[in-house]
Structures are given as C-alpha cells and as structure tokens.
Structure 1
C-alpha cells in the first residue's frame, strides 16, 4: 500500500493517534488531530502539537521515527503511516513563515478556519507550537 492509497482517508478523517519512541525504545502514544500535508514537496500526514515541550516532541527530537494513525468516526476504518518526521517550530523557522505554516497546517487538520486567527497565532507562539510532517515509508490500514 502507498500513501496515495490512503491520502483521501487522511484528508477526511482527522482523529489520530501517534506513537513516538522513548529513550528506552518503548512506545509513547498520544492523540492528535491530523491531516494531509499541504506543504510543497510533501506527500504524507501532518499534525500540529500545541506544546513544544510535550513528550511526543521531545521523543521526536531524539528519534525522528513515528507512526500516525487516522481513524474514521465510527472506528471501523483506519490508515497508518510510519516514517520519519521533519519538525518546524519557532527555533528553526522564521516567525512570519511559521505563523503562516501553522495556519496552513491547522486548516489541513480540520477543514475549517479558526474563529480568531490572532488569538491562535499568540497561543502557538507562547506555547511553542510545533508542526510535525511525516514522510511515510510504510503504509497500511483497513479502508472499505
């Protein structure tokens, strides 16, 4: 299976679960809101984590491998993409570029506009929001 086979599923099912890996190799699991990367040159899942100090981000800074699973509303269908990640945050991305990227990723992960973009921008900056872009090298799932 290729990501192109599950692309529409990720684009339309934003409930997600991510597994990152702790220093001892065990999995750390979190729920996320995910979507399809809207960024040029990407063909994989994307999500935004609100806190740059979260365990998932710390794990990804140490080990850039993860898997992200999107699930249908009724939990009867799912798609998983395993791969390596690229992280974007205010430490490695220009402030204005990051602000625009966060808005773009937000839209991709929810198909809607934020009710107050200025509030969102302030919150993401204050909480050190991070965009996680996954480049899948293994894809599987159950889509009917």
Structure 2
C-alpha cells in the first residue's frame, strides 16, 4: 500500500518532526531527526515525502550510494512509516529539469509541506544556498501505520 494519508495526517501534530533512516556503507542504519512533509512530486504524477538536507550531510552521502530510505512520523502513540526510493535534487546533485529557480521554489514547498513558515523568504533562500541544501524526495513503495484509536 502506498497511500500517504496516514503519514500526512501526523505531520501537523508535531511540526513535521520525523525519524529518517538511510543505509550506511557498512549496511548499518543511520538515523536522524528531520522535518518532512507530503507534496506532489515536482516532475511527475504522485505524492512523495519531502525533506530538506544540508549539503555534505551523512544522509545525502548514504542516499547517493543506496537510494532507499525509511521515514517515521509520530504523534503521541500514533505513527506511520514510509519505505521507499529516494531522489536527491540540489546543488551537488543537479537534475536536468530543475534549474536554480525551480530548486529554490522546491525547497520552499518542502518546508511549507512540513509545516514551516518564514518571515523573510529571501533570508531563507540565501541560507539554503549557502548551506548547499538539497531536496530529498521519497517515493513510497510501502506505507504502514498503527491503527488509530
């Protein structure tokens, strides 16, 4: 099942905070806490989980070698997990159909999908560029959650 509804319902309940897991070169799991949200894929049909990652981060390094990941959202005792294939779009991972302006807007879209707001989008854009931030788009292959009470 790949319906992201259960995952999307949890995002506003805890500021989009999720645990994101990638596979390290030694086949172990690397986990980090990120802000994530659900959005339409910017280049094709379908919804994905999106997050913004700092350039040079371990998660990006791991995804380049093994482009699969798992992300878990939770609120109280409710949780939802998405397993899938990951795409990176950023200054160090260019995509032929995403220019600098499209990347700037995509990073803002992901931030908003995760529940973020900003008083100065120019400052946000500058910080994203300086930190070589990249968009990570997780296409769901499997979605599961606990039953809601």
Q: For residue 128 of structure 2, what is the aligned residue in structure 1?
A: 124
Whether the aligned pair in 2 keeps the contact of 1:10 and 1:34 (CA below 8 Å) is no
Superposition TM-score, scaled by structure 1 size: 0.88
Q: What is the aligned-residue RMSD (CA, Å)?
A: 1.7
User: 1:3 Cα shift?
Assistant: 2.0
Q: For residue 47 of structure 1, what is the aligned residue in structure 2?
A: 51
- Structure 1 stretches of 4+ with a deviation exceeding 4 A read none
Whether the aligned pair in 1 keeps the contact of 2:7 and 2:81 (CA below 8 Å) is no
Distance in 1 separating the partners of 2:26 and 2:7: 32
- Going from structure 1 to structure 2, the CA distance change for 1:138 and 1:115 (only over 3 Å counts) comes to same
1:133 has 2:137 as partner: yes
Superposition TM-score, scaled by structure 2 size: 0.86
Task: Give unpaired runs (5+ residues) of structure 1.
Answer: none
- Going from structure 1 to structure 2, the CA distance change for 1:94 and 1:10 (only over 3 Å counts) comes to farther
Distance in 1 separating the partners of 2:110 and 2:59: 18
- Going from structure 1 to structure 2, the CA distance change for 1:115 and 1:66 (only over 3 Å counts) comes to same
Task: Give unpaired runs (5+ residues) of structure 2.
Answer: none
- The one-character-per-residue Cα deviations of 1:14-51 (angstroms, maximum 9, x if unpaired) are 110010011011000000111102334232211111x1
Distance in 2 separating the partners of 1:10 and 1:63: 27
1:12 has 2:16 as partner: no
SS at match of 1:37: strand
Distance in 1 separating the partners of 2:20 and 2:119: 26
1:56 has 2:63 as partner: no
- Going from structure 1 to structure 2, the CA distance change for 1:4 and 1:54 (only over 3 Å counts) comes to closer
